A and B are shown apart, each in its own frame.
Chain A
Amino acid sequence: MKATPAKRAEITDLPKLGLGLGLRNTHFDHILNHWPDVDWFEAISENFMDSGGRPRQVIRKVAERYPVVLHGVSLSIGSSDPLDMDYLQRLKLLAQEVQPQWISDHLCWTGVMGLNSHDLLPVPLTEATLDHIAARVLRVQEILDRPLILENPSTYLDFRANTLSEPEFLRALCERTDCGLLLDVNNVFVTCFNTENDPSDYFDSFPWNRVVQMHLAGHTDCGTHLIDTHDQPVRPEVWALFSLAWKRSNGAATLLEWDGNIPSFGECHQELLKAKAYMNGGTAQLSGKYVPVPGALAVSNPVNFLVPDVMAGSAELEDR
């Protein structure tokens, strides 16, 4: 008799984790010394999967105490190159080690012909792309043996070839593959501004029943466009959107991303906890003064693409 294979988790089985923070090198000491009262952590997969040093040790310890989610930037699900099997195997090994609640990446491509731009580049939103990506999502889910969670990226341009809106594309992708979604509320705001769309239309057509997680982050206003810099507090307009998103997603796990000019752990945590005020109160009160960071040389920082400060570790020169 054939054994029935164990049933793969479905996104409806995934937990509502509450309010989490990104696991960043600059906060390692604080976390290990204080075990702060944070609901969960999100780790950038690439910053840990090849680590033989401290990051690997830290994520193991953190995963013993907190729910952990792995968030990737290099899957390149939209690329025309074959899937990187070496990458997927390493990701799988890391997942076996830290047992994440889920694994996410972005609706994007990072490069073709063996190159990697280290950016989250937009995919043409067409039926052809949808076919291509859906097939790849199914393959990745098979390899990782779990649903893949995909995030809407920040985009700065709109292809003429697009025939679907991003929410339509994501809805169709979910229907075909049973994947889940990570809704980055800040990215919705940034993308809609840059492509002259209305965030409320975006929300109205978004497949909310597929949302497993949300992201909050700060962006930089460059006048003619917004850049997703993750280097400052969340903007009031984005908090207002979060308030709606919290309701519509039925309280999906929410994470604050802060990747440039990272303040102390305490400050990041304070910013995250502001979310509580927006959970039940619509456009709730804003505490503290909002000071925008000037954006003359803003560089999009999709998710801590800068090398994650490994060099912040101690280095010593011995005497001769």
Chain B
Amino acid sequence: MQAALIEPQATSNQEIERRVRSTSRLSAATALGIYQNSYRLRIAACMRDQFPALCYALGEGLFNDFVAEYIRQAPPESYTLYDLGRRFAGFLQANRPDLDAPVPELWVDFIIDLARFERQIFSTFDCAGAEGLHLAQQTTRDSDLCVQPSLSLAAYGFPVGDYYHAVRQEKSPRPPDRERVYLAVLRKDYVTHTIPVSFAHFVFLQEMCRGGTVGSALSAVSQQLSQDLAQVEKAWNEVSEIRDSWINAGFFLDRSRA
């Protein structure tokens, strides 16, 4: 029966008749068809909920077609529907319609990035967070700063954050042009925030998300931007606005109060 759900075409009518009783109103195949339809429609509806901006960008018909192929190739494995979209961006990347083109097509790059971003933000809504933990304050020492559980960082080739939020506010955005963006996503008091950051900040925060300290994060910045470490440390200590704004936004916990 499961095979009949996942690959409806592969199940013969004879086989269905052999196992399922027809009624005066429903043939065996029609009865099985109710399950087949519901499976397809339910998963598509659920994916539209998890990828609202991508669904808007592609249009519902094309989005549903991608989803149908996605679950055919990668049927759901988890007991939770939250897992449904986990492999979607990877699926789109592996099945790019422009694989034979000499250069990657802009819209394909865009939908893959958007799928990645929507997964990032969807995960943040319900992952472990800082609620109930001690967020860092301005007075927290650098050595006591560590990132809060829900913070994640990602780099994108399009302003997917602006696009996503415009869709959610029903502003009907047009597909954007290429633009390198670095987005921090985190949840504070059960509100999920998307915060654009610079490349240097991205490097810094990513190192801290890997369990690094302020010290190791500054070293990472110095290495990746080929800048003198002393200079980078000086900038961190002298320009406190960045540190302050990140602390206000809830990026960090105070390790000493854990």
Point out residues on A near B: beta carbons under 8 Å: 46, 50-55, 57, 74, 76, 84, 87, 110-119, 121, 156-161, 194-196, 224-225, 227, 297, 299-301, 305-307, 309-311, 313-318, 320
Contact = CB atoms under 8 A, between A and B. Distances in A.
A51 B35 contact: no
Contacts of A157: 20-21, 26, 28, 31-32, 34-35
12 contacts: A53-B125, A116-B78, A119-B5, A299-B37, A306-B46, A314-B190, A314-B191, A315-B165, A315-B168, A316-B191, A318-B194, A318-B195
B235 interface: no
A3 to B, nearest CB: 35
Interface of B: 1-2, 5-6, 18-21, 23-26, 28, 30-32, 34-35, 37-39, 41-43, 45-46, 49-50, 52, 75-82, 84, 121-122, 125-129, 131, 149-150, 161-162, 164-165, 168, 187, 190-196, 249
A54 B190 contact: yes
A79 B59 CA distance: 37
Contact of B77 (A115, A119, A156, A196): A115
A301 B81 CA distance: 13
A159 B194 contact: no
Contacts of B122: 310-311
Most buried by B among A87, A116, A306, A309: A116
A315 B191 contact: yes
Given A158-B20, A299-B45, A117 B193 contact: no
A320 B245 CA distance: 12
Given A115-B75, A158-B21, A317-B165, A311 B49 contact: yes
B165 A53 contact: no
B2 A115 contact: yes
B42 to A, nearest CB: 5
A318 B249 contact: yes
A116 B74 CA distance: 11
A34 B111 CA distance: 42
A50 B20 CA distance: 37
B2 A53 contact: no
Most buried by A among B24, B82, B150: B82
A46 B76 CA distance: 15
B81 A46 contact: yes
B232 to A, nearest CB: 22
Which 3 pairs show the lowest CB-CB distances between chains A and B?
A: A52-B128, A74-B79, A157-B31
Contacts of A313: 125, 190-192
A32 B158 CA distance: 39
Contact of B23 (A46, A55, A195): A195
Given A157-B35, A160-B21, 9 more contacts: A52-B149, A112-B2, A116-B79, A157-B21, A299-B45, A300-B34, A315-B193, A317-B164, A318-B195
A60 B84 CA distance: 26
Contacts of A111: 2, 76
Contact of B42 (A113, A299, A318): A299
A194 B6 CA distance: 23
A159 B1 CA distance: 11
Contacts of A57: 131, 190
A194 B78 CA distance: 30
A301 to B, nearest CB: 8
Nearest to B49: A307
Contacts of A195: 23
Given A53-B127, A316-B193, A307 B82 contact: yes
A71 to B, nearest CB: 14
Most buried by A among B20, B164, B165, B249: B20
Contacts of A76: 79
A280 to B, nearest CB: 35
A121 B50 CA distance: 24
A307 to B, nearest CB: 5
A315 B194 contact: yes
Given A316-B193, A320-B196, A311 B43 contact: no
A158 B191 contact: no
Nearest to A260: B45
A307 B192 contact: no
Contacts of A309: 49
A156 B76 contact: no
Nearest to B183: A317
Contacts of B187: 53
A84 B165 contact: no
Contacts of A297: 41
A54 B126 contact: yes
